[in-house]
Amino acid sequence: MPDTVLERILMIEDEPDIRTVAALALEDIGGFDLTTCESGTQALEQIDECRPQLILLDVMMPGMDGPATLKAIRDLPGYTETPAVFMTAKVQSDEIESYLAQGAAGVIPKPFDPLTLAERIRGIWNQDCTIG
Amino acid sequence: MPHSPSYEVRKKLETLRNRFQDKTIREIDCLVASIFNASRNAEAVGELIAASQLLHRLAGSAGTMGFPRLGEQARKLEIALQPLADKVVLGADREQIRRQLTHMLAAGLESQIVGLGDLLGSAEPVSTGWHQPRAFETCAQPVLLIQEPDQELAQLISQGLSLYGYRLRSLGPQEDWPESMEDVELVMVRDTLLQDENAGWSERLHSVPAICFSEAHDFTTRYRLARFGVDACIDEPQDIPALADRVEQLLAEGLATLTGRVMIIDDDPELLEHYRLVLTSGGLEVRALDDPSRLLAELAEFRPDILFMDVQMGHYQGPVLARMLRFQAEWVSLPIIFFSSEEDRDLQLDVLARGGDDFVTKPVSDEFLLRTARIRCYRARQLGKLVSLDSLTGLLKHGLAKTELNREHARCIRSGHDSVVAMLDLDHFKRINDTYGHATGDTVIKALSNLLRHRLRNTDIIGRYGGEEFVVVLPECSLDKAVEVLEALSQDFARLVFNAGNEEFSVTFSAGVAALNAFASGEKAIEAADQALYQRKRAGRNGVTVAIEEPPCR
């Protein structure tokens, strides 16, 4: 069992619909404290305001994509170990492999089910805490 | 009536989905236009990049928004168009790209692209994509919908079923079915109301289990009802115990097909994660494990329906692990399926002989894996039920009930909470069997077991102990509370009316209860409860008696 309870999540996703559904899934259903950003740039500006315990990123975004955003976040002080979860519409074995190699704690395939998203995030968090 | 939070969430999701639908209709129009534009004009092939991006976005989002078929189709088209978009980015000859696109369109892509919009129009009110994981159901308080023109009968059924713990919502004969059926678990409707197939009910009937009240036994009517998606036909709904039994069966079938617990063990973390994703997205519960030495502990905790295992994991061998698991009686029947890249049939047979159940040959396709897992889980659950559940009542069999009782005894002694065991016995059951026959006797037994299952908590243990005798274990429950609950149950049970031929009768039961933690063993507690039951029988039956605690033994 992890020592700390997951409360604050930062989500970076360019698509407004998915942001709204995820907010519903994570705030209303999951009871998390969620901050959403529409781009990597915005995330870098806001990250210190929400001090996330977990970061959820879309892989494919215009401008800075998911992996690039994560890399930039990792360069900031205080976020080198923060678990990151990628969301992607492509689930190929080698793709997942590369995200995990980049230090992602998990990968959530799109489309995801809004009713179970919070549960899955919590699962990844617990797993990450037991390993880490 | 205040809505539960989940209902609110579902409402919001509905709104979002409508918004998504409006927006996407326009986007698909643009998409179709730009693809055709690109096929006619080499200068416009650049539009393929945006088109391919939009398809990727839809592939990822449409399923979440409740349009899984649109998402799947978008993914297919994305895969088809992506190579062309890549060529545009790389600056390949535009005319050549255009010709290739035209060729693809003619070869069938055109109708698929034009058909995208239809997938958005045909949104089912409750698509399976929204429905699949039922994690919610625990707090959503599902209801049974009833529509019966005979108001008196509707009232009788509603009252009767509510004794079993169901919540009912009654609709007038003219009333339309509700817009959202997401909190409706089952529908009961009179056949005469199913006339106008263009009315709202016809598509919704397919999405929930449905019982039809129908006295017509002719082929045409019955065939028509089956075509509508009706799951059961009942001609005498006033026979509440029989109706409740059918309701119970239908609800149980629905749940069984939706769930399954899978454990996978493989030392390759990426592959493991991939399997986990595939199975999870298929609605199964998955525990993935990369360290074989934790297998026993994880198994005991997770209790999977099936286990997938690699043949060779580091210095551990899958078949040896399988043999090791079979040392323990509780894992003897656990289905074990091996991932194997071996093509050698002899070796595979050898592995099967040493405790495996089946093979899937690597590399295994996602679809194959998911289907194998689903079928195996379903079979395992069916078999598990046959082995451990009483065939008449679906309750635990004697032996297993006793095991569970002893487990709870150990648990309450260890943690210090109160738990209660109760023995129940139907009053004058022999007389019922002798007077009305065994079939009627069975109905009475089923009625009591359904009542117990419905009114007690999911965590309570209910077993059929013998012919007309039941055992109930209530973990984390005080003696007072247990007596209160059982007394309410006995009063409600006595109010159930059974039918046999032209006669109506009712039945009572007696119960003896004992505080589990006041006794040195589960065995002793059950003896005490049995004694209390015997006292209740002598004191006039129909009620609950508390056992005398045994003097502290230290």
Under CATH, domain B137-257 is a member of which superfamily? Answer: Response regulator (3.40.50.2300)
- Residue that wins the pLDDT comparison between B129 and A16: A16
- B367 vs B279: CA distance, rounded Å: 9
- pLDDT exceeds cutoff 90 at B516: yes
Mutate to test the interface with A, among B274, B275, B286 (most CBs of A within 10 A): B274
Q: Enumerate the residues of chain A whose CB falls inside 8 A of the CB of residue B271.
A: 93
Calculate mean pLDDT across residues B68-73: 86
- pLDDT exceeds cutoff 50 at A114: yes
Q: Which helix (H) or strand (E) holds B374?
A: helix B366-388
Closest CA to A114 of B368, B120, B15, B208: B15
- CA angle in degrees (0–180, nearest 5) for B252-B256-B262: 155
Closest CA to B203 of B194, B190, B192: B194
Q: Enumerate the residues of chain A whose CB falls inside 8 A of the CB of residue B278.
A: 91
Q: Enumerate the residues of chain B whose CB falls inside 8 A of the CB of residue A63.
A: none
Range in A30-44, B26-40, B402-416 the model is least confident about: B402-416
pLDDT in tens, B129-166: 333 333 333 334 568 999 999 999 999 899 888 877 78
Q: Assign A34 to helix, strand or coil.
A: strand
* Per-residue model confidence (pLDDT) at position B550: 61
Q: How confident is the model at residue B18 (pLDDT cuts 50, 70, 90)?
A: confident
Strands B509-515 and B420-426: antiparallel
How far, in Å, are B16, B144, B187, B218 from residue B3 at the CA level? 19, 16, 20, 42
Are B429 and B444 in contact, with CB atoms under 8 Å apart?
yes
Are B296 and B322 in contact, with CB atoms under 8 Å apart?
no
Q: Cβ-count burial of B443 within 10 angstroms (0-12 exposed, 13-18 middle, 19+ buried)?
A: buried
Q: Which residues pair with B510 in a beta bridge?
A: B425, B543
What is the CATH T-level fold of the domain B261-376, as seen in this structure? Rossmann fold (3.40.50)
pLDDT in tens, B233-278: 998 898 888 888 888 777 766 654 556 889 999 887 777 887 887 7
Percent of chain B with pLDDT over 90: 27
- pLDDT exceeds cutoff 50 at B5: no
Calculate mean pLDDT across residues A102-107: 85
Q: How confident is the model at residue B535 (pLDDT cuts 50, 70, 90)?
A: very high
- Residue that wins the pLDDT comparison between B513 and B91: B513
- pLDDT exceeds cutoff 50 at B341: yes
Task: Kindly give, in sequence order, each residue whose CB lies less than 8 Å from that of residue A33, ignoring residues fewer than 6 positions away.
Answer: A7, A8, A9, A27, A50
User: Which of B12, B60, B273 has its CB closest to that of A89?
Assistant: B60
* Per-residue model confidence (pLDDT) at position A35: 94
Q: Which residues pair with B397 in a beta bridge?
A: none
Percent of chain A with pLDDT over 90: 39
Q: Assign A95 to helix, strand or coil.
A: helix
Q: Enumerate the residues of chain A whose CB falls inside 8 A of the CB of residue B57.
A: 15, 89
Q: How confident is the model at residue B124 (pLDDT cuts 50, 70, 90)?
A: very low
pLDDT in tens, B189-220: 999 888 877 777 877 887 788 999 999 888 88
- Residue that wins the pLDDT comparison between B4 and B409: B409
User: Which of A21, A60, A88 has its CB closest to that of B64?
Assistant: A21
How far, in Å, are A15, B164, B262, B271, B482 from residue B288 at the CA level? 31, 39, 8, 10, 39
Same fold, B137-257 and B261-376: yes
Task: Kindly give, in sequence order, each residue whose CB lies less than 8 Å from that of residue A103, ignoring residues fewer than 6 positions away.
Answer: A70, A74, A84
Q: Which residues of B touch A (CB under 8 A)?
A: 5-6, 8-9, 12-13, 16, 19-20, 23, 56-57, 59-65, 68, 71, 75, 129-130, 132-133, 135-136, 269-271, 273-274, 277-278, 280-281
In this complex, how many residue pairs, one in chain A and one in chain B, have their CB atoms less than 8 Å apart? 89
- Omega of the bond prior to B363 within 30 degrees of 0, cis? yes
Tokens of B478: 């005080």
- pLDDT exceeds cutoff 80 at B9: no
Residue reference for tokens 């690109």: B38
Range in B50-59, B178-187, B412-421, B544-553 the model is least confident about: B544-553
Task: Kindly give, in sequence order, each residue whose CB lies less than 8 Å from that of residue B91, ignoring residues fewer than 6 positions away.
Answer: none
Q: Cβ-count burial of B434 within 10 angstroms (0-12 exposed, 13-18 middle, 19+ buried)?
A: exposed
Classify domain B398-546 by CATH number. Answer: 3.30.70.270
- Which residue in B has a C-alpha nearest to residue A123's C-alpha? B287
* Per-residue model confidence (pLDDT) at position B247: 86
pLDDT in tens, A50-72: 899 999 999 888 889 899 999 99
- B447 vs B496: CA distance, rounded Å: 9
Q: How confident is the model at residue A86 (pLDDT cuts 50, 70, 90)?
A: very high
Calculate mean pLDDT across residues B466-472: 91
Q: Where are the domains of chain B?
A: 14-121, 137-257, 261-376, 398-546
Q: Enumerate the residues of chain A whose CB falls inside 8 A of the CB of residue B8.
A: 28
Are B490 and B543 in contact, with CB atoms under 8 Å apart?
yes
pLDDT in tens, B354-382: 777 777 776 777 778 888 888 788 777 76
Question: A88 and B60 in contact by Cβ < 8 A?
Answer: yes
Q: Note whether ipTM > 0.85 here.
A: no
Q: Which residues pair with A35 in a beta bridge?
A: A10
* Per-residue model confidence (pLDDT) at position B259: 67
Mutate to test the interface with A, among B70, B281, B287, B298 (most CBs of A within 10 A): B281
Q: Assign B41 to helix, strand or coil.
A: coil
Q: How confident is the model at residue B16 (pLDDT cuts 50, 70, 90)?
A: confident
- B473 vs B456: CA distance, rounded Å: 10
Average pLDDT, chain B: 83
Closest CA to B475 of B519, B524, B517: B517
Q: Which helix (H) or strand (E) holds A83?
A: none
- Domains, chain A, in order of start with CATH, read 8-131 (3.40.50.2300)
- B253 vs B212: CA distance, rounded Å: 17
A2 CA to chain B: closest CA distance, Å? 17
> What is the DSSP annotation of B104-124?
HIIIIIHHHHHHHHHHHH---
Q: Which helix (H) or strand (E) holds B359?
A: strand B358-361
- Which residue in B has a C-alpha nearest to residue A98's C-alpha? B270
Q: Break chain B down into helix, strand, coil percent, rounded to 5.
A: 55, 15, 30
- B332 vs B328: CA distance, rounded Å: 7
Strands B336-340 and B358-361: parallel
Q: Assign B428 to helix, strand or coil.
A: coil
Are B34 and B50 in contact, with CB atoms under 8 Å apart?
yes
Residue reference for tokens 């109930």: B472
How far, in Å, are B181, B187, B225, B230 from residue B206 at the CA level? 11, 11, 11, 8
- pLDDT exceeds cutoff 50 at B30: yes
Quick count: other Cβ atoms within 10 Å of Cβ B406?
17
- The residue count for chain A: 132
- Which residue in A has a C-alpha nearest to residue B8's C-alpha? A28
- Residue that wins the pLDDT comparison between B371 and B421: B421
User: Which of B56, B64, B133 has its CB closest to that of A18?
Assistant: B64
